[in-house]
Amino acid sequence: MTQQPGTHPTAADEVTELCRDLIRIDTSNYGEDRGPGERAAAEYVAAKLAEVGLDPTLVESAPGRASVVARIAGEDSSRGALLIHGHLDVVPAQAADWSHGPFEADVVDEPGHGPTIYGRGAVDMKDMDAMTLAVVRDMLRSGRRPPRDLIVAFLADEETGGSRGARWITQAHPELFEGATEAISEVGGFSYSVNDDLRLYLIETAQKGMAWMRLTAEASAGHGSFVHRDNAVTELCEAVARLGRHEFPLELTDTVRTFLEIASESLGLTLDPEHPEEVVAKLGPISRLIGATLRNTANPTVLDAGYKHNVIPGMATALVDGRFLPGNAEAFEKQLDAILGPDIRREYVYHDEAVETTFDGELVEAMSAALRAEDPGAQAVPYMLAAGTDAKHFSRLGIRCFGFAPLRLPADLDFSALFHGVDERVPVASLQFGVRVLDRLIRAS
């Protein structure tokens, strides 16, 4: 029997404990199926959904690598469904580096921020998982139905590209997402304070493509005391240095240009499209986030060569994290080859497309209206994410994807530094703001 409104905790009441519960379930993803997996968190989510009358589907791509999907019938199922997706895995954390245990979910009363939840996943992205759970549970316990079908998905393996999560489930079980036309997920909807009366809320409408590469140099092995003109270590290091120091050409996509134009006007600045770094430098804590979307990037991350001090190895390898702008995949490859030269072999370890959509339509209007209703100083603005999310996989199903995990943040909180960082944390008030906005969005969508 459906509970009557007012006889159960509200979404804002429940979201804190849901978030803390999820953080306490260690779902650290070390890659290559190393780590505890997501099964325990998936079972927790499935049980919370079943409590309010849903029949969630739990699937595993490999032992312990579990995802959960549920569909809530809307008032008009002939309309395209809205998908809300989040991932259950988190990057590893070294407890010794943290001021509070990364899987303890301590609540700390911080000056100016109020009660704040510390823990791995607090912003990436068990906060959004908890907000989604809280809103869905409140909606169903209140006897409400969404205007159109709502699909919620809690996924494995986003942190290593989704091969055990979104990539796998969209290929193996596309029927779970049948009819979905739009989706929202992480790394968007958070506030950037311009002043006391104006906050820009960055809605992700684009993200760069991913090109994780292995570079290999080969030459003759030999004794370390001899002269070797064709040393593989030397060849590789010179190529890696060229790549790491290279500044790729500036290119403003539609999304990035729109963001910079709005941000410039809000800050009272003039945007010079030939030198956008001048505006980016004024953006404070989000300057890193925006600066990485002005051009392609390639950052060396791992070097490996040799096994003994006096032996010149016949091979040296390096790993590189490459990111390319929408529409730049082929140009990026040509740029890489020109920098590296013919003696370096380049192969992809992981490659995925860039995605971009326009900042318009009824869902965008609903997101903007929901933010303004809870924050009269809100202005929604599109932006590009330099990293990647599971949106890449859902976009292949023809779903229009946005990053929208709404949080009103303290002006002095360096939000971008918290992703994969030490002392990851989220204010409770931000979570409660998020559930109110998310509830409004679902009601209006």
Q: Whats the size of the chain, residue-wise? A: 445
Q: Do 20 and 156 reside in the same domain of the chain?
A: yes
Longest dimension (CA), the chain: 84
Q: Report the mean per-residue pLDDT for the chain.
A: 95
Q: Do 375 and 388 reside in the same domain of the chain?
A: yes
Strands 114-118 and 107-110: antiparallel
Cα distance between the two ends of the chain: 27
Q: What is the mean pLDDT of residues 361-366?
A: 97
Residue 87 lies in a domain: yes
Residue 3 lies in a domain: no
Q: Do 113 and 16 reside in the same domain of the chain?
A: yes
Note down the domain range covering 163: 11-206+355-444
Residue 375 lies in a domain: yes
Q: What is the mean pLDDT of residues 355-379?
A: 97
Q: Do 165 and 202 reside in the same domain of the chain?
A: yes
Q: How many domains does the structure of the chain reveal?
A: 2
Q: Do 254 and 399 reside in the same domain of the chain?
A: no
Residue 372 lies in a domain: yes
Q: Do 317 and 365 reside in the same domain of the chain?
A: no
**pLDDT at residue 59 is higher than 70:** yes
Condensed to tens digits (0 to 9), the pLDDT of residues 208-258 reads 999 999 999 999 888 888 887 889 999 999 999 999 999 999 999 999 999
Query: Which of 302, 334, 352 is at the close of a domain?
Result: 352
**pLDDT at residue 111 is higher than 60:** yes
Q: Do 332 and 424 reside in the same domain of the chain?
A: no
Residue 2 lies in a domain: no
Query: Which of 352, 376, 400 is at the close of a domain?
Result: 352
Q: Do 97 and 125 reside in the same domain of the chain?
A: yes
- Distance (Å) of CA 33 to CA 65, 106, 164: 8, 28, 9
List strand residue ranges (DSSP E) for 386-443, in order. 400-403, 425-427
Query: Which of 352, 382, 406 is at the close of a domain?
Result: 352
Q: Do 234 and 363 reside in the same domain of the chain?
A: no
pTM: 0.93
pLDDT of residue 229: 80
pLDDT of residue 1: 31
**pLDDT at residue 310 is higher than 80:** yes
Condensed to tens digits (0 to 9), the pLDDT of residues 123-142 reads 999 999 999 999 999 999 99
Q: How many CB atoms lie within 10 A of CB 25?
A: 21
Please choose, from the candidates 334, 333, 328, the residue with its C-alpha nearest in 3D space to the C-alpha of residue 294: 328
Assign 6 a pLDDT band (cuts: 50, 70, 90).
low
Residue 241 lies in a domain: yes
Q: Do 216 and 183 reside in the same domain of the chain?
A: no
pLDDT of residue 3: 43
Cα–Cα distance measured from residue 57 to residue 414, given in angstroms and rounded to the nearest whole number: 37
Q: Do 220 and 174 reside in the same domain of the chain?
A: no
Residue 271 lies in a domain: yes
State the CATH number of the domain containing residue 215. Answer: 3.30.70.360
Cα–Cα distance measured from residue 322 to residue 221, given in angstroms and rounded to the nearest whole number: 30
Q: Do 408 and 261 reside in the same domain of the chain?
A: no
Residue 1 lies in a domain: no
Assign 8 a pLDDT band (cuts: 50, 70, 90).
confident
Cα–Cα distance measured from residue 90 to residue 421, given in angstroms and rounded to the nearest whole number: 11
pLDDT of residue 5: 47
Whose tokens are 């690598």? That residue is 65
